[in-house]
Structure 1
Amino acid sequence: MLIESNPESLQKSLIGKILREGVEIESRFGEEIRIEPELLICEKPTYVQSFDESFGWKACEDSYLDRVENLIQTAAEKLKKTPYTRRVSLPVWRPEDHLCKTPPTVTEISFLYYFDSLHATAYVRSLDALNYFSANFDFVLHVLEEIARKAEMEIGSVALLVAAPHIYKRDTNRVEKHSYKDFYGFHKLGVHVIEDYESTAWHSALEVIYYNGFEKETEWGELFEGQKRSKFVHRLFVEVKNTRENKIHDKAPFTKKYAIDYAHNYVIYAAKLDKPVKEKILKEGEEYTYAERARYCERDEKKVDQLYECIKKLRENPYRRDCYVGISRVWDLTSDDPPCLRGYQFLKTRKFMGIFYMRSNDIYGAMHANMYAFSLLTDYVSQLINEREYKYYHFSVDAHIYEEFLDSVKEILEPETPSYISKA
């Protein structure tokens, strides 16, 4: 995690890290130097270059602004009505982007209001840190400014979760090895957790929120009294290195059977993992599932099995940077229960990996099962493309523990030591 006060320093730090830690990879566009996923946070964002409404960088046949401008007013109204909402997240990616040669680099932009400021976080599937940092950063800042202006809010920080930060070898004579400082642990604008196992990663997430989290209201308080308030951290970025051992914590609030069923049916649709899905998969009473959004969404005008498309591409080249699955849709913005998972990506740098991006995550009640399912999906994909090892990354814009679960979390973090001394 890199944190800087301004975007120019952030770009220099990123380039410095790429030059010092990157590995050489042959891509379709030339030989590149790439590092693993990085969370970039700018505390006081300003435009890197001049920005105006004529910004026309293309995503397939659309400009980036075309894809979000009709959502900005709705987003602002939602924030103005309920400032503490976690449900304002704008999709830039569309399922049919798999079928074009220039899919968007920025796939999702999420917003969170706290400390009297509106903060933006974007998922960026690929970033040429030298040539396109400014265009991507300025686009996200522009959307933040527009929503903040309409919602009458102050502008806060801008963050980019970048799956494949890189520079091309042909450009190395144009850059310097700038110094940089990696940030681990808790910061009020982001948290970076690195653990060996999913079980210990969940424990660490509980720990950082319980002891460092901020309190705020939630929208679920209208329905559930115990969920009226939560403790949360902003931008929880979790990296799991050893993904096939110690997967379930002994205090996890679910069974292994539940986790496998959830993974196979709700997340993956495992019955046809290696075949394209061309028919309805929702069961009666289901509004959506992550599998349905990934593979056959009935409301999509053009239906694309995104997961299957990714597997096909990865078999050709596991290093490619466009194997992204978009879960979010534009109509989520007006929903009272939009998907928490917004999208995920598979790619290889040093190892094959899966990166999963969530706008919101119930850390006690849902995160561990989410991690198990998302990691299992990554495992299955790695086997299908003959990759022996894989890493797992889990990210949440708003990572929280509901008030009603705080006592249960305390019992996990601070178990009582049994006394074997008899009392007279």
Structure 2
Amino acid sequence: MRITCCGKISPILFLGITLLFLPAGLFSQSPDSKIHDDAGLFSQSQREALEKRAQALAAETAVDFVIVTTNTTGAKTSMAFADDFFDDNHFGIGSSRDGMLLLFNMQEREIWISTHALALDYFKDSDIEVLLDKVFVPLQNASYEGAAEEFLINAAAHIKAKKAAEGPATVTEVDPLIKLWDYAGLLSEEQKAELSVRLLEVTDKYSADCAVLTLTSTGGKSMTAFARDIFFDSGYGIGPDRDGILLLVKMQPDGNWNLELYISGAIQYDINNEHADSLLRVIGREMEREDYYAALGSFIEYTHTTIRYHRATGLEWLKLRLTPELVGRSLLYGCGLALLIVLIMFFVQRRRSSAAPSVQAYMDQYNINFTVRTDTLTGTHTTRTPIPKPQPSSGYSSSYSSDDHRSSSGVSSSSSSRSSGGSYSSGTSSHRSSSGSTHGGGGRKF
């Protein structure tokens, strides 16, 4: 019997041996599947249940949720492996690829959460730690399915809360029949009910909308632009001139705040720029004490008192609507009066000119002579003393805008604003993956 040994290894055999030593994360995975259990931690039924849950939560939040288990990450850290797995397999929803990934690294006995785009914005470092605490509880009992469930449920709940606090996705989502929208969560249910009734009372009494909106984000718009859009696009304002007033309160993550007062139509005559500035100062004092109920109550009371006083003083004529007939008559009367004044001045001046003696005759009569003297400048001496620039102050700052402007609808309106001071810190650490994408996240050994 003769045995012949081949001097070459079969290409198929070589490929099979090579595949055994490559980390599972290097192979492209379908972005349609959210559960990638390369370490075999889940049963078939568990994978199907987790897949269904991840898909449903992604549809609700517009944020991708991915779970990956692996026995090896090659030479990569858990952070690098998780970030690259997310990027290389094109996970994430929308053009910005909003999403987050939970990695079970069985090689290092470590879990890692990677966040990207919107998830990175929503999860501060402290939020990641809270989420890791939730995931870690079932993990201590080797319940990998329970840990994955905790990740999906709590991550989605956090994102929903953040989106709700940001306010409406579009300004048309606000119902103008409702006068109080507390997206920032500053009030209790009882406080919201009481303030809503008071806002409706002011609205009905003066036939002008009186509304309040609190939120944590204006979607990149300025406070003035957002207030204007929310007022007009949502249908606030009563009558042809859209009479009304809107208080916009924006809460920042560091506890600071911004106020914007938007006034439209005839209410501008009742609450002028000086009144608006005073009103913002009153609200600001309560905001500094973090008494948000009192702040919004002061807005309602000040608005009611100012409008009532103004209209009780007999200044209703200021709200007279300009009609074409009124404008025409006013121009006609004005032109006639101007012509009359010009004629009177002409005849008076002509009479004075004929009676006045000439200057030369006056000088000859009294022997008056004028001489001209010219001084020559020989030099100058200037002393300069520098004025020290004032040092910038820290803490409370405010800005006001008193210029009238017109919205896209052509209705006259005005706006004033006030802000609390302080620096902004998002409290989120970020880094770049090997593909250049920005990620956040954190991990923990188990």
TM bucket (normalised to shorter chain) is under 0.3
Write 1 or 2 for the structure with the bigger share of strand: 1
TM-score, length basis structure 2: 0.21
Bigger Cα Rg = 2
